[in-house]
Amino acid sequence: MYLTPEEKEILAGSHGEAAKLAMETLVKIGDINGAERFVPIKNVHLVLHAYKSAFDAGVETAEKIAEMGGKFAVPVTIDPYGMDAEDWKGAKTPEHYAKQQMRLEAAVMKMGVIPNWTCTPYYGFTSPRKGEHLAWSESSAVAYANTACGARTNRQTAIVDIFCGIVGRTPLMGLHLDENRKGEVLIKLHIGRPLANWEYPALGYLLGQRLGARIGVVAGMKGSPTSEDLKNFCGAAAAAGSVALIHIVGVTPEADSTEEAFNGNMPAEVIVVTEEHIKETREAMCNNTTERVDFVALGCPHYTINEIVNVHKLLKGRKVHPNTAFWIYANSYALRLAEKMGIRQELEKSGVVFRAETCMIISPVKDWGFQTMMTDSGKCSYYGPAECGTEMIFASVEECVESAVSGKLKIFNKEKQS
Ligand code: F3S
């Protein structure tokens, strides 16, 4: 790789031991992947965030880099906390787990992380813009930054993201380059109306499975998806496949037209998606053997204030069924707004529990012994069964709320209604 004089100095150790190690590692990654040089980055988003996924090795590595003098050179945000940030004891977090989580927190804080603890850093913390280079790790956020914002980031991994933050650069490769952002597969959406809220994550899930790591171009999407629709679509696509970018014609800043999205490429495959395909995907996202619902989990990726307000409207002051846990996961930003609006207090009075700055997948939920989990999240439906040890029901938020109130499956389809 070509290195600037400053980069050579960093490599020689003049910026400290941690920066030297970071540069050595990134040069190796760049060389292996044929990068010609580094590109400066605006910010970084870390995934060394939860003891559940970092384990002891991750905690010790973060501590070691911090001890070596690792300091972030650009703004660095971080994925959800590994346990409820407001009430980890009430969330039944084991003591040892909590201790290790706090060690991890101390290490990344020492390096200068912005402790936003959320997988949606694009809401209010670092808002990506078209053409900006980033080094993000959280798969749903990577897909969102590339797809909804037109920013440029590969799917970084834990530790490599820390190193990018320390040197403020990433090797110029993958999705940082125009030639690697061209569409490869055409997706013809044959649904002549705007999608319903639950159809975005279902479509994302379906496309994730069909595309793998290839770049899709979705043509024919009606209406104008909200930012939450795109968040939920990207979260599902990035979980069910290795998707980091899907051009949505008319939505993605680099895809005003199908031609622009393919940028000279010919589609290697054409996938037609109809309403029936979305319904079939939804069925495949459920594996429940009972209609009893004892856990409703919303907020993967983290719920926004708009989504919390919507649940408040749907619940209309009714009580959650005593045999059902109804948890909403959100970052401190959305929670504070919900508090200021008074809706957090009202939802809690109804029996909703807010799990602060954490998530159902990377916090220890298995010990609760839930049997059937219901969610409106495509990403959660993908990981939930293994990570939470439950059966899974994927549904719309309206159906999730009604099921939380009745304690059993309520779906708005006559043939399946319980
Ligand atoms: Fe966020 Fe956790 Fe889902 S990190 S995207 S809430 S799995």
Domain-wise residue ranges, the chain: 5-174, 182-284, 295-406
What is the distance between the alpha carbons of residues 154 and 413, in angstroms, rounded to a whole number? 40
Tell me the mean pLDDT in the region 339-348: 98
Report the alpha-carbon distance of residue 346 to residue 226 in Å, rounded: 26
Residue with CA at minimum distance from ligand 1 atom 6: 300
pLDDT of residue 412: 87
Superfamily of domain 5-174: Aconitase, domain 3 (3.30.499.10)
The pLDDT of residue 142: 98
* C-alpha 119 – ligand 1 centre gap (Å): 6
| Percent of the chain whose pLDDT exceeds 90 | 97
Topology annotation, domain 295-406: Aconitase; domain 3 (3.30.499)
Helical H segments across 294-331, by residue range: 305-315
Q: Residue 4 belongs to what H/E stretch?
A: none
The residue behind tokens 């010609």 is: 36
**Mutate which of 53, 77, 300, 388 for ligand 1 pocket (most atoms within 8 A of beta carbon):** 300
Place of tokens 């919390």: 308
C-beta of 140 in contact with ligand 1 (< 6 A): yes
Mean pLDDT of 100-109: 98
Q: Is the pLDDT of residue 245 over 60?
A: yes
Question: Is the distance from CB of 161 to CB of 46 less than 8 angstroms?
Answer: yes
Element (H, E) at 373: strand 372-375
pLDDT digits (tens, 9 = 90+) for 211-224: 999 999 999 999 99
Ligand 1 atom 2: residue of nearest CA: 359
- Give 25's pLDDT tier (boundaries 50, 70, 90): very high
Q: Strand 246-248 to strand 216-219: parallel, antiparallel, or no bridges (unpaired)? A: parallel
Cβ-based burial of 180 (10 A; exposed 0-12, middle 13-18, buried ≥19): middle
Residue 415 predicted with pLDDT over 80: no
- pLDDT confidence bin for 124, thresholds 50/70/90: confident
Six-digit token pair at 107?
């290490």
Query: Model confidence at 414, in pLDDT bands (50, 70, 90)?
Result: very low
Answer yes or no: same fold for 5-174 and 295-406.
yes
- Rounded mean pLDDT, 88-117: 97
Tokens of 349: 């009075």
Asked if residue 235 has its Cβ within 6 Å of ligand 1, the reply is yes
> What distance in angstroms lies between residue 287's CA and the mean position of ligand 1's atoms?
20
Q: Which atom of ligand 1 lies nearest, measured to the CA of 361?
A: 7
User: Does residue 359's CB lie within 6 angstroms of at least one atom of ligand 1?
Assistant: yes
Please indicate whether residue 358, judged by its CB atom, sits closer than 6 Å to ligand 1. Answer: no
Above pLDDT 70, what percent of the chain? 99
Residues 272-315 pLDDT 10s: 999 999 999 999 999 999 999 999 999 999 999 999 999 999 99
pLDDT of 396 over the 70 cut: yes
pLDDT of 195 reads 98
**Collapsing DSSP states into helix, strand and coil, what is residue 134?**
coil
Residue 403 has pLDDT above 60, yes or no: yes
State the pTM of this model.
Answer: 0.97
What's the maximum distance between 2 C-alpha atoms anywhere in the chain? 69
Residue nearest to atom 4 of ligand 1 (CA): 119
Asked if 83 and 98 count as a contact pair (C-beta separation under 8 A), the reply is yes
**Ligand 1: which of 52, 362, 382, 394 to mutate, most ligand atoms within 8 Å of CB?**
362
Q: What is the pLDDT of residue 416?
A: 45
Q: Is 180 helix (H, G, I), strand (E, B) or coil?
A: helix
- Both tokens of residue 164? 């990018």
Mean pLDDT score of the chain: 97
Report the DSSP pairing between strands 325-330 and 295-303: parallel
Q: What's the rounded mean pLDDT across residues 83-98?
A: 97
Per-residue confidence (pLDDT) for residue 413, from 0 to 100:
65
- Banded pLDDT at 18 (limits 50, 70, 90): very high
Q: Whose CA is nearest to atom 1 of ligand 1?
A: 301
Read off the DSSP letter of residue 408: B
Distance from the alpha carbon of residue 360 to the mean position of ligand 1, in angstroms: 7
- Distance (Å, rounded) from C-alpha 356 to C-alpha 337? 13
